[in-house]
């Protein structure tokens, strides 16, 4: 019985929406009391500026979207074992992980981390965002870049990055970890 009452009330409210019509009346004469300035010379400049700003916003959104896609690709390799020179789910190394992740989204990076470090624009750690690259020197004998990771998240001052380690395969680590903080060399932006 209550269902029938609810249905009747619902039907009544839906049908009555179009029945009530508010009457609007305006005065018989409208007067303009303020005259507009002639801004025709500024209208073109404002339109160009708005178009430029909307273009920048669209480009920034596209970059964010692309970096998220690249991060998702890299994260899909989580747990894959380390293999020197590897570029597949059977085994992969640090530069291979980034090489494959970017290439899948039509961005070519060199295959070796040392050469990858020469791509893009060097940025300060305070400027790092998702999709940026972090480079490290992990060799005690040589002071040359030999490791790379991809920034996947930033939680306050903690930068999380995905990379392939020789001991644990593809994992997400924190730059706050002593080892990685000590080995860190630089950050770059390629997008």
User: Tokens in use for 45?
Assistant: 């400049």
CA distance linking residue 185 with residue 97, whole number of Å: 19
Q: What is the mean pLDDT of residues 153-175?
A: 96
Supply the pTM of this predicted model: 0.71
Q: Active site includes 163?
A: yes
Number of domains in the chain: 1
Residue tagged active-site, from 11, 42, 52, 94: 94
Q: What is the mean pLDDT of residues 75-82?
A: 98
What is the pLDDT confidence band of residue 39, given thresholds at 50, 70 and 90? low
For residue 183, is it within any domain? yes
CATH number at residue 122: 3.90.1720.10
- Extract the runs of DSSP E, i.e. beta strands, from the chain: 87-88, 91-92, 121-123, 133-136, 147-155, 158-165, 169-174, 184-189
Over pLDDT 90: what percentage of the chain?
A: 63
For residue 56, is it within any domain? no
* Residue carrying structure tokens 């209550």: 2
For residue 111, is it within any domain? yes
For residue 52, is it within any domain? no
Q: Active site includes 11?
A: no
Residue tagged active-site, from 17, 42, 52, 147: 147
Structural domain boundaries, residue 79: 61-189
Question: Is residue 20 pLDDT above 80, yes or no?
Answer: no
For residue 117, is it within any domain? yes
pLDDT at residue number 51: 67
CA distance linking residue 143 with residue 182, whole number of Å: 13
What angle separates helix 94-103 from helix 40-75, to the nearest 10 degrees? 130
Q: What is the mean pLDDT of residues 78-95?
A: 97
User: Tokens in use for 128?
Assistant: 């790092």
For residue 109, is it within any domain? yes
For residue 115, is it within any domain? yes
Residue tagged active-site, from 11, 52, 105, 163: 163
Q: Active site includes 94?
A: yes
For residue 40, is it within any domain? no
């Amino acid at each position: 019985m209550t269902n029938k009452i609810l249905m009747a009330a619902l039907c009544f409210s839906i049908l009555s929406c179009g029945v009530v019509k508010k009457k609007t009346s305006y005065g018989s004469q409208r007067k303009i009391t303020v005259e507009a300035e002639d801004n025709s010379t500024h209208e073109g400049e404002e339109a160009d500026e708005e178009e430029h700003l909307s273009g920048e916003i669209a480009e920034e959104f596209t970059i964010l979207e692309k970096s998220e896609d690249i991060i998702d690709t890299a994260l899909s390799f989580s747990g894959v074992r380390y293999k020197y020179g590897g570029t597949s789910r059977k085994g992969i190394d640090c530069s291979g992980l980034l090489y494959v992740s970017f290439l899948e989204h039509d961005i070519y990076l060199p295959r070796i981390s040392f050469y990858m470090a020469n791509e893009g624009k060097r940025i300060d750690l305070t400027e790092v965002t998702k999709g940026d690259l972090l480079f490290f020197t992990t060799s005690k004998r040589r002071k040359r870049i030999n490791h790379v990771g991809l920034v996947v998240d930033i939680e306050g001052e903690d930068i999380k990055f995905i990379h392939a380690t020789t001991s644990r395969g593809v994992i997400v680590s924190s730059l706050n970890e002593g080892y990685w903080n000590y080995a860190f060399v630089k950050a770059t932006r390629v997008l």
